[in-house]
Chains A and B, each alone.
Chain A
Amino acid sequence: MDEALAKKLRILADAAKYDASCSSSGAPKRTAGKGELGSTTGAGICHAYTPDGRCISLLKILLTNYCLFDCAYCVNRRSSNVARAKFTVEEVVTLTVEFYKRNYIEGLFLSSGIIKSPDHTMELLTRVAKSLRRDHGFRGYIHLKSIPEASPWLIEEAGLYADRLSINVELPTEVSLERLAPEKNGLVIQNAIQQIGERIVEAKAEKRRFSPAGQSTQVIVGADATTDEALMRKSAHLYGSFNLKRVYYSAFSPIPDGSTILPLKSPPLQREHRLYQGDWLLRYYGFTPDDVADATEDGMFALDVDPKLAWALKHRAHFPLDVNRADREWLLRVPGLGARAVDKIIRARRHTRLRLEDVARLTSGLKRARPFLITEDYRPSGGLTDRLDLRARLAEPPKQLSLF
């Protein structure tokens, strides 16, 4: 690999790293046929971890970080002084294929700054995906960050080659968008998300290929004053109305050459973590947006207890629950019990009466679960569930997750 290409790679990987949506999940399982390269596994594979604890699954790069937009939170905004570079379509294809052959990556996550026009940029992104599929028999994962301002037919074409399309909501409110991302428009973004959503549903029904791993989006956290509750309601709306696979929350992070209109301090990473936990409650634990809102204080999740525990502490009258009797729906509300543990409990109790040591084998969260559970041989003593200091007993000591 020559030094000129390596230099571009350094600039354009650095410029892409603030997008959190890197997973290679959700694609239908497929393997390479004769003469083809690549497969997808369903859940995706993390090929390496960087010292920030994040997984490298896809080659996450920008086609270029030249950009005509001026979004305050973005390192690549046109008024930023960062070093700039631009790959050719062929260079991205080569990097993807050669990295893939060495088992470094699951595929490509390609995004771009806006050059010339949104249409021109979107066409380039699609050309990369098309060349990988057509010229190289590439069957690995391709995620294209679509450009909502591009003409709708270009988004239609991108879906033919990509496994996943995503469009970033970026900021949860129209007001913030106007202030921090002047070239963006909430309605344009929403229309594009809706277009992709409709096409995915149609294609699935007609057994055609269109972004088979669905659609995801990203919201930046902490760049404006939006509360966790508002973020959760926004996500519930996105999941419910547009059938999104994932909403990613990205605590805005200090960037080289930051903008003056951003808050000085980034939010604690723990806040991002709590938002993901709240998101899971919406998607896998049967919590309604109101339930999740109920787990916040003044609209914000506590940093020292997880949202499910916060909810349970507020609704102690429902607990303790008998693991040998309670409904699945309610067991899912017990802090410390994951969805898998709940399913195991329900399966096992058909054959045996569960004791505390049995539950200990089914979950790793027994410490948190204990005050809320009754088993064959155990019941929280001395009104443990009602103790005032319960929260303090269960709260996590402050972690080194915060930045400073």
Chain B
Amino acid sequence: MDPGDLFGAGPRAVSLAAGADVTGFRNAVRRLVAGDVPPERVVWSVGEAPGLFGATDESGETPPLALPRGVADLVTRVVPHRDPERYALLYTLVWRVLHGERRLLEVSSDPLVHRLERMAKAIARDLHKMHAFLRFRLVEGEGPERFVAWFEPDHHILQAAAPFFVGRFRSLHWTILTPEGSALWDTSALTFGPPGRREDAPTRDGFEAGWRDYYESTFNPARTNLAAMRAEMPKKYWRNMPETAAIPGLVRAAASRTDSMIERAPQKAIKRDPVRAVAAMADQAPESLDALNAIIRRSEPLVPGATQAVLGEGRVGAAIAFVGEQPGDHEDRQGRPFVGPAGQLLSKAMAEAGLVRGDAYLTNAVKHFKFEERGKRRIHQNPTAGEVSHYRWWLERELDFVAPRLVVALGATAVLALAGRAIPVTRARGPAEFGKGYAGFITVHPSYLLRLPDGAKDEAYAAFVQDLRRVGELATRLAA
């Protein structure tokens, strides 16, 4: 205990570790507040080396302080500042917050708050520039790739800056060296070590020349604006950024490069005009159903998991096209539409209604099976509206090629795909308009019939067969 405390009014010395000693400061604040020591009585000093003082002493003996979240947060943000006054300023803030000015932080115009906010901003900038301007170099040698960077921050920010690099370069081995300490990541743990030296980092990297080429080429000499560059990338950073070596040359040549661009009269094209290639560009659209199907077949499922794309089946020019929802488990395995239980039910109903399945075109609004795995079973999941729109382009082209007289939408998803908007099937059941060159018809999806309780099944199935009869009649009438 220092002698000042005997009288309750003498100065109180607090010594903290060098660098950003958040723990030491927090413990000191707890003790000072518990002892009711006002800021003007505290003399803050900072040790020579990190970890020698402060952080270890008397922790846990005083209860934590309840501070507004914003205050604790500001403390963490300002402590890395190199200004020796930072601890005194922060303690004054804490003191005022605890003595009647609980919402002091909201008053950004208060000189103390203003100053601390500016310090926090300086730290944020320093962190941002470290994240931006640090350059790794590959260490030559055997084994997994290892990268090393040398960087000189303005403030004590190594610990605060490191998590960003972990989140970004998690799969790499890397070391960041600074004059105050180093950080090492081995793809699973982050450790902090002693200060590094510039010489400890590699002096070259195989991609630096390419990077400098890129830097030079992306610069537009007609827009030279050095003040803007320096404001964002002050010169003090340049020595650790390999690309900045190109700056003097770029600046020197900028004016003459610009002048020559302007003075040079427009030139005639040297090469022959590629007339045929330009004309051929227009032929990119698939020219047949087979060509379209080839595109669909090699495209990725929107929702991963499907074995294959399930294409439409039937002949081009079929009078009736049936559009279902999406392939199910069986369809996905066999690569053919309507071959599972619902498809079999559809075939049966078609036969009863006097339709020949082989004469019709059958396809789905969505070409890939979407499911959820439950144990060994793959449980069908409805496609979302967005997924239906995603697949709609193909359905439209497909029907353009097939050119049926009548398109039957089986269930809500097919209706959504064909009409471009959701329409309740129960209300719209029957002939419909999809705004295209063919007539439309809306009915339920056969899988709906499979899900009904036994009592309701027969009646619903009869109604479905009745719908299909109407479809047949309608197609005949359209042919006439």
Contact = CB atoms under 8 A, between A and B. Distances in A.
Contact of B225 (A79, A266, A352, A401): A401
Contacts of B264: 256-258
A52 to B, nearest CB: 4
A59 B114 CA distance: 38
Contacts of A153: 295, 299, 390, 393-394
A13 B214 contact: yes
B274 interface: yes
A361 to B, nearest CB: 4
> From DSSP, what is the main secondary structure of chain B's interface residues?
helix
Contact of A17 (B218, B384, B389): B218
B59 to A, nearest CB: 31
Interface in B390-444: 390, 393-394
A101 B218 contact: no
Contacts of A393: none
Interface string B152-176: 0000000000001011111110000
B218 A60 contact: yes
A317 interface: no
Contact of A14 (B218, B222, B243, B390): B218
A interface residue count range (under 10 / 10 to 19 / 20 to 34 / 35 or more): 35 or more
Given A32-B168, A117-B281, A203-B386, A53 B135 contact: no
Contact of B106 (A47, A116, A203, A347): A347
Interface in B259-277: 261-262, 264, 266-267, 269-271, 273-274, 277
Nearest to A78: B274
Contacts of A11: 217
Contact of A36 (B135, B171, B261): B171
Given A81-B267, A103-B134, A51 B251 contact: yes
B131 A53 contact: no
A18 B220 contact: yes
B128 interface: yes
A255 B261 contact: yes
B261 A151 contact: no
Contacts of B229: 49-53
A253 B223 contact: yes
A367 B300 CA distance: 58
A130 B212 CA distance: 27
B2 interface: no
A81 B284 contact: no
Given A50-B218, A50-B229, A60-B218, A36 B170 contact: yes
Contact of A32 (B170, B223, B251): B170
A202 B273 CA distance: 43
Interface string A249-273: 0000111111110000010010000
Contact of A350 (B106, B169, B243, B267): B106
Q: Which 7 A-B pairs have CB atoms at the shortest separation, nearest pair first?
A: A53-B228, A202-B386, A31-B167, A358-B109, A53-B225, A117-B284, A13-B217
Interface of A: 1, 5-6, 9-11, 13-14, 16-18, 31-39, 41, 45-56, 59-61, 68, 78-81, 95, 98-99, 101-104, 114, 116-120, 130, 137, 140, 151-153, 156-157, 160, 183, 198-199, 202-203, 205-206, 208, 210, 253-260, 266, 269, 344, 347-348, 350-352, 354, 358-359, 361-362, 401, 403
